[in-house]
Amino acid sequence: MIVYNLACNQHHPFEGWFASPADFEQQRDRGLVECPVCGSTQIERKLHAPRINTGAAPVTRQDAVEAATQPDGEIDFGQLREAMLGFAQHVRDNTEYVGERFADEARAMHYGEKEHRGIRGRADRDTAEALREEGIEFASLPFPVDFPNAH
């Protein structure tokens, strides 16, 4: 599994997970990779150095992929899945679920009305775009961490 930092032609950043570089190219060329903010399918890869923190020593996503890669070059998807589940658990353990109040909470922290803390929740594309235009930094996760009863 490869994680790419991506951006659309409107410069909205997001991540995507792909089985291979060719998989990314195929999906992008077929219009299947879409910006979560504006819906554009004009997507390009960007430079990045992402990390997964599972609560243990920090591990880069590349390290996780390399650790899950067997000597014959095949990826142990079970091991990679465990790293992803660990990351999702870390997010759940270290953030507060605010659901549909995400934008309101993010704005209140950004403008100093509330103390900064880790939050997670939901926002539609228009709201996410408005937050970014206001200079409020946040990230969309490439997979859900809000499983039933997770908060």
- DSSP output for 119-141: EEE---HHHHHHHHHTT------
Residue 62 lies in a domain: no
Q: For residue 17, tell me if it sits in a domain.
A: yes
Tell me: pLDDT of 122 over 90: no
Confirm if 15 and 2 have CB atoms less than 8 A apart. Answer: no
| Residue 64 pLDDT | 61
Q: How far apart are CA 130 and CA 22, in angstroms?
A: 33
The mean pLDDT value of the chain amounts to: 78
In a domain, 16, yes or no: yes
Q: What is the pLDDT averaged over residues 15-35?
A: 87
Which pLDDT score, from 0 to 100, does residue 42 have?
94
Confidence of residue 126 (pLDDT cuts 50, 70, 90): very high
- Counting the structural domains of the chain, the total is 1
Is position 99 within any domain? no
- In degrees and rounded to multiples of 5, residue 82 shows phi and psi of -60, -40
Q: Is residue 125 part of a domain?
A: no
pLDDT value for 57: 42
Sequence-separated (6 or more) residues with CB below 8 Å from residue 120 = 91, 92, 95, 96, 97, 98, 102, 141, 145, 146
Q: What is the mean pLDDT of residues 71-86?
A: 73
Residue 13 lies in a domain: yes
Q: Say yes or no to pLDDT of 133 above 50.
A: yes
Whether residue 39 is contained in a domain is answered as yes
Q: What percent of the chain has a predicted confidence (pLDDT) above 90?
A: 23
Alpha-carbon distance of 95 to 109, in angstroms, equals 14
* Residue 8 forms part of a structural domain: yes
Helices (H) and strands (E) in the chain, counts: 5, 7
Domain that holds residue 27: 1-48
Q: For 1-151, where are the alpha helices, taking DSSP H only? A: 21-29, 61-68, 77-94, 102-110, 125-133
